[in-house]
Amino acid sequence: MAEGFLKSFDSKLEVFSAGTNPAARVSSRAIQLMKEMAIDIAAAIRNRLTNLQLNRSIMFITVCDHAKETCPIFIGNVKHRVHIGFDDPAEATGTEEEVLAVFRRVRDEIKEKFFGFYQSKLKESQG
């Protein structure tokens, strides 16, 4: 979802989603709820991070609190490492309505925090 929002804020940004243990495909719930925001993430690809990818990155952003704890320590050319934490909606339990409510809450938090991050940290560097 964070990748989708960042790309919607600025189509010139190069953004890649990855994970420490990525799922085979993007969550159908995440796809559904991003469509509510007119953002299509159905074709998004999640990959396992490699040191080569990290060394080519300018910024490395972790989003799930679990990722912050489990991301490997690396030494590379990444200029900025940032953590913007959210609950992992994939861990939500309950009825479908309750799970979707968690996904919506996290989606909205991601949008708000990443828009602020884009405005304060990324927009100026793209100009």
CATH topology classification for 2-7+14-126: Rossmann fold (3.40.50)
User: What's the confidence (pLDDT) of residue 114?
Assistant: 95
Q: Are 74 and 52 in contact (CB under 8 A)?
A: no
Q: How confident is the model at residue 81 (pLDDT cuts 50, 70, 90)?
A: confident
Give this prediction's pTM: 0.81
Q: Where are the domains of the chain?
A: 2-7+14-126
State the first-to-last Cα distance of the chain, in angstroms, to the nearest integer. Answer: 24
* CA atoms of 77 and 42, how far apart (whole Å): 31
Q: Are 77 and 56 in contact (CB under 8 A)?
A: yes
Residues 50-69: tens digit of each pLDDT: 655 555 667 778 787 665 55
Residues 8-50: tens digit of each pLDDT: 999 988 887 776 666 778 889 999 999 999 999 998 876 666 6
Mean pLDDT of 76-89: 80
Close Cβ partners of 89 (under 8 Å, ≥ 6 residues apart):
27, 29, 30, 99, 102, 103, 105, 106, 107
* pLDDT above 90 coverage of the chain, percent: 43
Q: Which two tokens stand for residue 35?
A: 């469509």
